[in-house]
Structures are given as structure tokens and as C-alpha cells.
């Protein structure tokens, strides 16, 4: 029988699921995100960073030019589409840096001098979803623009370390490298090509392709069969000139002076093409394969490449989901705070009117209040409302039944510590709740 001929079957409406790799943030996790966001706001304020928000959608060229055509992100991970209303080529941002640089150049933000900027929000990459790797994920990032010296490289790394300490993250290590300048990389690249060409048959398909396009990225390969070959490859650090080495050493000296341990990883090249000199990543073994919680570095060529007046810059970004997961593993996620201060209970009719007025008065006084609203529109028993009050996490219940209303009173019940209940005049409910809250915190 067709669905049309079977009305009972036709009535069953299919639910529509979210997009694979793009997750809902559910109420149970909201407090953790809010906590993290607060810590991040405090951190950025402590170091003089200003907030900036760019759109989620940019012209595709921003990322093609910014991140580089020959990168995994641009080659295969971008959500790009044509706006069918005007034919524009657009992309859901896969990262923040190129977009922030676009905004800085467009709005001439460096006109008055260097800027320290931060941002947060969703990013989109079409990767294979797994633990810690999503198609929509959230980044927090900082970008310091207009500063050339190694001091700012060290400062942004100190910021990261302070953040991990503040969040109680355990087992995070810092790896650092220098990518030098373009002519140094060109020399190294030539040496790499010669080296890998000799053993071309040992390269996997991806690396054979990269040999022609971006041989540095071969060093990034995780393919176990190629590790020995990669170990023996010419190291970029050996091609760095005096200036680049001086910068790299100065960063390390400043980190050491601030007791920040780091490991030099000559194979750390990062997956985006805008970097020069210092690059770094924070890595943990606690999260399985997706253990990089944050990464960044210096990207002096980018502002000019995006059409701005040449200016040095550096920054880093972290994956919020990965950091929250590591907080969970480290046992440092805070307890969810109580949802509200007061839960207001009534019996419908006139008691509802009074209860609604009292709830508004409580909110006027800065006290969070939930007013009981029966799901079926009918008044519910006190008992079932008290259960709801308890489950809401509220510290106090304000009870207004017909008996209370007749006496112009409400009952105030302590739900968390003492369980005490007392009558208070309706006009004094707000003061009574404030007194109770103050008393409980003393
Ligand atoms: P990135 O290394 O591509 O750098 O990303 C930064 C962080 O975002 C990663 O370390 C990781 O924690 C998180 N992340 C990346 N992809 C995913 C994903 N699919 N799912 C979950 N988390 C992910 C950048 O994006 C640069 N813009 C960083 C930067 C800022 N460099 C200079 N300034």
C-alpha cells in the first residue's frame, strides 16, 4: 500500500535532525560555557585586548588568499557556496585570523597604532567528525597587530599559560618552532624537495601531491610508515638566518624568565600558510587524537597580503569544545550554579495575579525568580509545585495560596539549607527574600 493510501502511516511525521558534526549547546552544558566565557573576558581585559566581532560569512577570497590555496582547509574543508541572489562566492569562516585581518584593513584599525584584539564564535570546517573534531566548532582567539618584537610573541604565550592555570587544565605542553622568513623557507623547501624526491616511492599519495605544492606540510604527516623518512629530512631551523634565530632565541629567553617550559618541535609547521618566525601549539595527551587545544604564531606577511599597509602581527586561537572537554577530564569544571533565587508558587486565579506581581517585584530588585506556570493551564497542587521548586535549584519558595492571600501574606520557605518556613506580609516579600539571601551568605 502506498503512503497516500495508508493515512495512518502518512501521519507519522519524520523528525529533522541537526547537521552531522554540528552540535546543539544544551541547557545542561550552558553554565560551563558561560564560566569559560567569563574567564576569557577577564583574561583579555587583564592584557588590554579589545573585543571584535566579524560576520560568520565572508567572501571566499578572504580565506583563499588569507589561509593559502594549498592548505587542507582551503582545498577541502571550506563550506563555500554561491549566493544565488547575487552570484557572490561566499564561505562560512573556517577560522578567525583572515577575517579579523580583513576587518582591520577595511576599517583602518591600525591607523592610530598597534592593536590587541580578541574574538570568539563558531567556525566551520568540513572535516570527518570525531571526538574533539566537529564541523561547527567554537574558537576563542587573540590577535596582536602592529608589534614586531619577540616580546609580544612571549606575551601571547604567557596569556595562554595563565588561561590553562586559571581553568585548572592538567597535562598541557607547549611546543614551539620558528618558520623563519620566506627566503629561508624557500631554501629549505628546495632542500626538502631534493631529499623527498630521492625517496618518492616511500611517500603516500597526499605527500606526493604536497611534494609539488607545499612540501613543508609533508613534515606534518602522521602516517607511521613515513615517520623515519620525515625524521631524517632537512630541518628548517638549520636554514634560519641570524635575524630569525635571534628572534626565536629572544622568545625562548622571555618564556624561560617567566617559567614557561616549552619543547622545540622542528616539525611543527601549522596548517595555515600565513605564518613566519614563531609558531606554537598547546597539546595534551588526554583527549585522544585531537589533542591540540590551541595554536598560533606570528603572521607578519598577512596584513599586506590582504591589501593593508604592511604590519607585523601574531596571535593564537583555541578550540572551546576541546578546552571544555579537557576541563572535564581534569576535574575542573565548576558545579552548575543554582538556576534562580526564588520560585513563586500559587493556586491560579487571584493568587496567580499576586504571584506574578511579586515575581516582577523580585526581579526589579535583582532577584532571579521563576513563576510557576502550569503546563496544562490548570492550577497544580502545592505538592507538585514544591517538587518543581526543588528541581529548579531555587534557594527559596514564595508560596501564595488563597489562605495566604486572605491574610495579605505569603509563605517564604528555605529550600536549600534550613528548610524553615515563615509567613511574611505580601508587601515585605522582596525585603524578606533579600534578608534571607544576605543572611545565608554571611
Ligand atoms: P588552528 O590550529 O587551525 O588555528 O585552530 C585553532 C584551534 O581550533 C585548534 O588548536 C583546535 O583546538 C581548534 N579546532 C580546529 N579545528 C577544529 C575542529 N574541526 N573541531 C574542533 N576544534 C577545532 C587557527 O585557526 C588560527 N586562526 C590560529 C591563529 C590565530 N593563528 C594566529 N592567530
| Pocket lining: 126 vs ligand 1, CB cutoff 6 Å | no
> Rounded to 5 degrees, what are φ and ψ at 264?
-80, 125
**355 plus 429 within the same structural domain:** yes
- C-alpha 74 – ligand 1 centre gap (Å): 14
User: Residue 230: what pLDDT?
Assistant: 92
Q: Whose CA is nearest to atom 18 of ligand 1?
A: 133
CA 270 to chain centre: 19
Write the pLDDT tens digit of every residue in 46-76. 999 999 999 999 999 999 999 999 889 999 9
- C-alpha 277 – ligand 1 centre gap (Å): 18
Write the pLDDT tens digit of every residue in 144-187. 999 999 999 999 999 999 999 999 998 999 999 999 999 999 99
Q: Whose CA is nearest to atom 2 of ligand 1?
A: 295
Bridge partner list, 144: 116, 314
Q: How confident is the model at residue 275 (pLDDT cuts 50, 70, 90)?
A: very high
Mean pLDDT of 8-35: 90
> Rounded to 5 degrees, what are φ and ψ at 46?
-60, -25
**283 plus 421 within the same structural domain:** no
- C-alpha 308 – ligand 1 centre gap (Å): 24
Question: Cβ neighbours of residue 244 under 8 Å, at least 6 residues apart?
Answer: 178, 180, 181, 184, 277
- C-alpha 293 – ligand 1 centre gap (Å): 8
Q: Are 274 and 308 in contact (CB under 8 A)?
A: no
Q: How confident is the model at residue 9 (pLDDT cuts 50, 70, 90)?
A: low
- State yes or no: pLDDT of 260 exceeds 60: yes
Question: Cβ neighbours of residue 163 under 8 Å, at least 6 residues apart?
Answer: 39, 40, 43, 318
| Pocket lining: 322 vs ligand 1, CB cutoff 6 Å | yes
Average pLDDT, the chain: 94
- State yes or no: pLDDT of 285 exceeds 90: yes
| Pocket lining: 96 vs ligand 1, CB cutoff 6 Å | yes
Q: Are 260 and 271 in contact (CB under 8 A)?
A: no
- C-alpha 66 – ligand 1 centre gap (Å): 15
Of 288, 304, 330, the residue that ends a domain is 330
**137 plus 265 within the same structural domain:** yes
In a domain, 362, yes or no: yes
- C-alpha 112 – ligand 1 centre gap (Å): 29
| Pairing outcome for strands 263-264 and 172-178 | parallel
Measured distance CA(407)–CA(177) in Å, rounded? 75
User: Residue 269: what pLDDT?
Assistant: 87
Q: Are 398 and 412 in contact (CB under 8 A)?
A: yes
| Pocket lining: 295 vs ligand 1, CB cutoff 6 Å | yes
In this structure, what CATH number is given to the domain that contains residue 395? 3.40.50.800
**279 plus 161 within the same structural domain:** yes
Cell of 383: 505538592
| Pocket lining: 318 vs ligand 1, CB cutoff 6 Å | yes
User: Residue 376: what pLDDT?
Assistant: 86
363 assigned ligand-binding residue: no
**54 plus 122 within the same structural domain:** yes
| Pocket lining: 139 vs ligand 1, CB cutoff 6 Å | yes
Q: Which residues of 61-71 are buried (b: 16+ CB within 10 A; e: fewer)?
A: ebbbbbbbeeb
Domain membership of residue 388 as a residue range: 342-437
CB atoms within 10 A of CB 267: 17
Q: Whose CA is nearest to atom 22 of ligand 1?
A: 319
Of 54, 103, 139, the one to substitute when testing ligand 1's pocket (max ligand atoms within 8 A of C-beta) is: 139
Q: Are 219 and 267 in contact (CB under 8 A)?
A: yes
Q: What is the torsional sign of CA 37, 39, 42, 48?
A: negative
Measured distance CA(110)–CA(364) in Å, rounded? 43
**430 plus 289 within the same structural domain:** no
Measured distance CA(425)–CA(324) in Å, rounded? 46
Mean pLDDT of 388-416: 94
In a domain, 101, yes or no: yes
Cell of 327: 576541563
C-alpha pair distances (Å), 249 with each of 7, 154, 252, 265, 279: 75, 11, 5, 14, 13
User: Residue 8: what pLDDT?
Assistant: 55
In a domain, 212, yes or no: no
Q: How confident is the model at residue 206 (pLDDT cuts 50, 70, 90)?
A: confident
- The residue ranges of DSSP E strands in 285-395, in sequence order, are 292-298, 313-319, 342-346, 369-371
Q: Are 227 and 190 in contact (CB under 8 A)?
A: no
Of 62, 296, 323, the one to substitute when testing ligand 1's pocket (max ligand atoms within 8 A of C-beta) is: 296
**325 plus 412 within the same structural domain:** no
Of 308, 330, 352, the residue that ends a domain is 330
In this structure, what CATH number is given to the domain that contains residue 285? 3.30.930.10
| Pocket lining: 134 vs ligand 1, CB cutoff 6 Å | yes
C-alpha pair distances (Å), 95 with each of 118, 122, 129, 163, 382: 13, 9, 17, 20, 52
- C-alpha 136 – ligand 1 centre gap (Å): 12
Give the number of domains in the chain.
2
| Pocket lining: 292 vs ligand 1, CB cutoff 6 Å | yes
Q: Whose CA is nearest to atom 9 of ligand 1?
A: 294
134 assigned ligand-binding residue: no
Q: Does 289 or 242 have the greater pLDDT score?
A: 242
Write the pLDDT tens digit of every residue in 321-341. 999 999 999 999 988 776 789
In a domain, 322, yes or no: yes
> Rounded to 5 degrees, what are φ and ψ at 152?
-75, -30
pLDDT above 70 covers a percentage of the chain that reads: 98
**166 plus 254 within the same structural domain:** yes
Measured distance CA(55)–CA(96) in Å, rounded? 10
In a domain, 211, yes or no: no
Q: Whose CA is nearest to atom 17 of ligand 1?
A: 133
- State yes or no: pLDDT of 258 exceeds 90: yes
**420 plus 281 within the same structural domain:** no
- Greatest distance between any 2 Cα atoms in the chain: 95
In a domain, 58, yes or no: yes
Of 261, 295, 330, the residue that ends a domain is 330
In a domain, 159, yes or no: yes
Measured distance CA(239)–CA(254) in Å, rounded? 23
- C-alpha 140 – ligand 1 centre gap (Å): 9
User: Residue 127: what pLDDT?
Assistant: 96
> Rounded to 5 degrees, what are φ and ψ at 36?
-60, -45
Closest by alpha carbon to 400, among 355, 430, 368, 357?
A: 355
In a domain, 253, yes or no: yes
**405 plus 362 within the same structural domain:** yes
**323 plus 350 within the same structural domain:** no
Question: Cβ neighbours of residue 208 under 8 Å, at least 6 residues apart?
Answer: 200
Q: Does 358 or 441 have the greater pLDDT score?
A: 358
Measured distance CA(59)–CA(82) in Å, rounded? 10
User: Residue 67: what pLDDT?
Assistant: 95
- C-alpha 318 – ligand 1 centre gap (Å): 6
**136 plus 256 within the same structural domain:** yes
3-state secondary structure 332-355: CCCCCCCCCCEEEEECCHHHHHHH
Q: Whose CA is nearest to atom 8 of ligand 1?
A: 319
Amino acid at each position: 500500500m502506498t503512503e497516500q493510501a495508508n493515512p495512518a502511516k502518512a501521519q507519522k511525521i519524520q523528525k529533522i535532525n541537526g547537521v552531522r558534526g554540528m552540535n546543539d549547546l544544551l541547557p545542561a552544558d550552558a553554565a560551563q560555557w558561560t564560566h569559560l566565557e567569563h574567564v576569557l573576558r577577564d583574561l583579555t581585559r587583564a592584557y588590554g585586548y579589545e573585543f571584535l566581532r566579524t560576520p560568520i560569512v565572508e567572501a571566499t577570497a578572504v580565506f583563499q588568499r588569507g589561509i593559502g590555496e594549498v592548505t587542507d582547509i582551503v582545498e577541502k574543508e571550506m563550506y563555500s557556496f554561491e549566493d544565488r541572489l547575487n552570484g557572490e562566492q561566499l564561505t562560512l569562516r573556517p577560522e578567525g585570523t583572515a577575517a579579523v585581518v580583513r576587518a582591520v584593513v577595511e576599517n583602518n584599525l591600525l591607523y592610530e597604532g598597534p592593536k590587541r584584539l580578541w574574538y570568539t564564535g563558531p567556525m566551520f570546517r568540513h572535516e570527518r567528525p570525531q571526538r574533539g573534531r566537529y564541523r561547527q566548532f567554537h574558537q576563542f582567539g587573540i590577535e596582536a597587530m602592529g608589534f614586531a618584537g619577540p616580546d609580544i610573541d612571549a606575551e601571547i604565550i604567557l596569556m595562554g599559560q595563565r588561561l590553562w592555570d586559571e581553568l585548572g587544565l592538567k597535562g598541557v605542553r607547549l611546543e614551539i618552532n620558528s618558520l623563519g622568513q620566506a627566503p629561508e623557507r624557500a631554501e629549505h623547501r628546495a632542500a626538502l624537495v631534493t631529499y623527498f624526491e630521492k625517496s618518492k616511492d616511500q611517500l603516500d599519495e597526499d605527500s606526493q601531491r604536497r611534494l609539488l605544492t607545499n612540501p613543508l606540510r609533508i613534515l606534518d604527516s602522521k602516517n607511521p610508515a613515513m615517520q623515519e623518512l620525515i625524521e631524517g629530512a632537512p630541518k628548517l631551523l638549520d636554514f634560519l638566518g641570524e635575524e630569525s634565530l635571534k628572534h626565536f632565541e629572544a622568545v625562548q629567553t622571555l618564556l624561560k624568565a617567566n617559567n614557561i617550559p616549552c619543547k622545540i618541535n622542528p616539525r611543527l609547521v601549522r596548517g595555515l600558510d600565513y605564518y613566519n618566525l614563531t609558531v606554537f601549539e598547546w597539546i595534551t595527551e588526554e583527549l585522544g587524537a585531537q589533542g591540540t587545544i590551541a595554536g598560533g604564531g606570528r603572521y607578519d606577511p598577512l596584513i599586506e597580503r590582504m591589501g593593508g599597509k604592511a604590519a607585523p602581527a601574531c596571535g593564537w586561537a583555541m578550540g572551546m569544545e576541546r578546552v571544555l572537554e579537557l576541563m572535564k577530564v581534569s576535574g575542573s569544571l565548576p558545579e552548575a550554579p543554582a538556576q534562580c533565587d526564588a520560585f513563586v508558587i500559587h493556586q491560579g486565579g487571584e493568587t496567580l495575579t499576586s504571584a506574578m506581581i511579586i515575581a516582577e517585584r523580585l526581579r526589579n530588585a535583582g532577584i532571579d525568580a521563576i513563576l510557576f506556570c502550569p503546563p496544562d493551564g490548570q492550577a497544580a497542587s502545592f505538592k507538585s509545585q514544591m517538587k518543581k521548586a526543588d528541581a529548579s535549584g531555587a534557594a527559596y519558595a514564595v508560596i501564595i495560596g488563597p489562605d495566604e492571600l486572605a491574610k495579605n501574606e505569603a509563605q517564604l520557605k528555605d529550600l536549600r539549607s534550613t528548610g524553615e518556613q515563615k509567613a511574611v506580609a505580601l508587601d515585605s516579600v522582596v525585603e524578606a527574600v533579600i534578608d534571607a539571601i544576605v543572611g545565608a551568605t554571611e
